[in-house]
Amino acid sequence: MCFFLVGFTDCTDRIQFLFNTDDSHFVLNSDGVLIVSNSFDIKVSYLTFFKSSPKVTIGFTTKCQSQILTAGHPDVAVRYFPKSSNGLRRRKRDWVIPPFNYPENHDGPFPYKIAQLMAYSNAEDPLEIIINVIDMNDNKPIFEQTSYVGEVAESSPKGTTVIQVLATDADEPGNDNSIIKYTILRQEPKLPNDHMFVINTNNGAIMVEDVGLNKETYPEYTLQIQAADMKGEGLTGKTKVVLKVADRNDNAPVFIQSTYWGSVDENAVGVQIVKLSVTDKDEQNAPAWNAKFKIISGDPEKLFSIETGSNKQEGIIKTALVKSKILLKDPVFKLIKLCFNSKV
C-alpha cells in the first residue's frame, strides 16, 4: 500500500474536508492522505475529487510505494476548488436591509422589539442595520423675549415695519415639527379699529395695517402674539408686544383769540405790549408742542419784537430795544405767524 499526501484548500482556515473519488482503487481521507491499493500498479494517474458540488481533476506520478509526501513539500500540489464559471449560475445575493424607523420618546414597554432578522449559518459579511429615530413634536416654540417694547410714529402709513419678534423650536430643523407660523391673537385697545397692525406669518415682522395712529388719542397698544409649530397647527408659545405711539408734528398751533389789542406809550423801549396765547394738540412739552413766534408783516420799521414765553405756548410782543418814535396811527400789529418747527 502506498500513501500520498494531497494538499487542498477552500480559502478558509479548515484543514479537514470530506472527499470522494471516481476511482475505487483510491481512498482519500479527510486529512488529505491518499491511499493507493498495492494491487494497483501505475506510474501516472488522473483522479477526479469531489467536494460538495465543485470538483477538481489532478494528475500525479507514483514515485515510491512507501514514500509519504508531507504538506509543504515541493511535490505536494495545493489544489483550489474552482470558482463559479462565467455562465449563468445561481449565486447568493447580499442582504439589503431597509432602515428601521423608531419614534423618539417611545413609551415602551421595554425592551421594545423593532424587527426580527433571520440568517443561515453560512452568512457572509456582517450586515449594516440602520435605525432612524423619528422626530416627535415634543417641543413648543419659545420666544426670545417674554415681552417686547417698540415704537411707532403716529400717522405712519400702511406697511411700515414696527418691530420683529422671533421664536425658536428645538425639534428637528426643516421638519414640520419646527416650522413656525406667527399670528396676532389680540390688540388692546381695539381703536380706532381692531386690526391696526398685522404680522408676517413667516418671519414675525409686525407692520402698520391701517391709518389712524394718534399719540394724543391712543398713546399705546398692546399685542398678544402667538407662535405655533406644525405650520401653525401644532404646539404654541406666546409673548406680549407693547407699541408706544411716538408723537409727530401733525397738529398746527391755534390762537386762542382771533384778534389781540394792546397799547404802549410813545418812545417806550423794551416794554411789553400784549401776550398771544396758543394751544397745540401735539404731545405736551414735546418738541412738536413748543411754539415759536414771528412777526410776518405790519412792522416795516422793525419797531416791535416778539418772543416765546417760558411756557412755550405764549408769544410776548414788546417795543423794540432801539429808541424810536411810534406812530399813534398804528397802535396795534395783528399779523403774527407761529413757527412750530422744533429745530428753530
pLDDT in tens, 266-315: 888 889 999 999 998 887 887 888 888 988 888 888 889 999 998 889 99
Radius of gyration of the chain (CA): 53
Q: What digits encode the pLDDT tens for the residues 123-157?
A: 566 777 788 888 788 899 999 999 999 999 988 99
DSSP character at residue 248: -
Does 84 have pLDDT greater than 70?
no
Portion of the chain with pLDDT greater than 70, in percent: 63
Domains by residue range for the chain, with CATH: 142-246 (2.60.40.60), 249-343 (2.60.40.60)
Q: pLDDT value at position 201?
A: 97
Mean pLDDT in residue range 219-240: 96
Mean pLDDT in residue range 85-104: 67
Q: Which cell is 43 given?
A: 506510474
Q: pLDDT value at position 281?
A: 82
Count CA atoms within 13 Å of residue 49 on its CB side. 24
Q: pLDDT value at position 202?
A: 96
Q: pLDDT value at position 322?
A: 65
* Number of other residues whose CB lies within 10 A of the CB of residue 270: 11
Burial 325-344 (b: 16+ CB within 10 A, else e): ebeeeeeebeebebebeeee
Q: pLDDT value at position 186?
A: 97
Q: Can you tell me the distance from the alpha carbon of 315 to that of 253, in angstroms, rounded to the nearest whole number?
A: 12
Q: What digits encode the pLDDT tens for the residues 313-339?
A: 999 999 987 655 544 444 444 444 444
**What's the angle, vertex CA 67, arms to CA 35 and CA 5, rounded to 5?**
50
Q: Look at strands 161-164 and 254-255 and give their pairing.
A: unpaired
DSSP states of 148-186 as a string? EEEEEETTPPTT-EEEE--EE--S-TTSGGG--EEEEEE
Q: Can you tell me the distance from the alpha carbon of 177 to that of 229, in angstroms, rounded to the nearest whole number?
A: 6
Does 9 have pLDDT greater than 70?
no
Average confidence score pLDDT of the chain = 76
Q: Which cell is 4 given?
A: 500520498
**End-to-end Cα, the chain, rounded Å:** 133
Does 91 have pLDDT greater than 80?
no
Q: pLDDT value at position 71?
A: 44
pLDDT band at 100 (very low <50, low <70, confident <90, very high): confident
Does 234 have pLDDT greater than 70?
yes
